[in-house]
Amino acid sequence: MSTTTLSPLARAALLGVLTGSRSATPLAALALSRDSRTLTGSWQEWAVFRSSIGRAVFVAAGAGELVGDKLPSTPSRISGGAIFGRVAAGVVVGFAMGTTDLRADRGVQGALIGAAGAVVGSFAGYLGRKALVEKTGLPDLVVALLEDAVAVGGTAAVVRAARS
């Protein structure tokens, strides 16, 4: 089985975009990967990731978001508070990915790239989901479940694409 490797900043960008789709999924993936030997960085020593409670909160938030996204009362991902939360999550995952470079700590660069990715992912996801529902006639729930699969699968792939 071959493993694709991505630079830390490429992972920051991709996880930022995926954060725009499901803001808690990349955080949950980091929580689940805290003890990984292939994805190492100073982020693993952050108190929230060292704590089993902190990791459990991230995983629960990820699972809760997958359910909450389907509720009619859930605000649009591009509304003020929602996009702010996605950008904040993009900053965290981007900073974390920036700390995985063995040659230099690029946390701040990763944070900026993760934030930009979250904005791009938020608008692309919003417009893409809306267009797919309108053009195909598929129910929004079906498209939302497809988006979940892309967010979870994409996040897992990016996290696995750790640098050797």
List alpha helices for 22-139, DSSP H: 25-32, 47-50, 52-68, 80-98, 107-136
3 lies in some domain? no
CA distance 146 to 107: 31
Please state the domain count of the chain: 1
96 lies in some domain? yes
What single DSSP character describes residue 44?
Answer: G
Q: How confident is the model at residue 164 (pLDDT cuts 50, 70, 90)?
A: very low
Q: Residues 111, 115, 18, 77: is their CA dihedral positive or negative?
A: positive
> What three-state secondary structure class fits 3?
coil
pLDDT attached to residue 123: 98
80 lies in some domain? yes
CA distance 69 to 46: 28
The mean per-residue pLDDT over the stretch 8-12 comes to 94
pTM greater than 0.85 (yes/no): yes
- Structural domain boundaries enclosing 37: 8-160
pLDDT attached to residue 101: 78
38 lies in some domain? yes
C-alpha dihedral, 145 to 9 to 88 to 78, nearest 10°: -50
H or E segment and range at residue 18? helix 8-21
pLDDT attached to residue 134: 97
Q: How many CB atoms lie within 10 A of CB 138?
A: 14
94 lies in some domain? yes
The mean per-residue pLDDT over the stretch 74-85 comes to 94
pLDDT attached to residue 1: 45
CA distance 87 to 114: 8
The mean per-residue pLDDT over the stretch 56-65 comes to 97
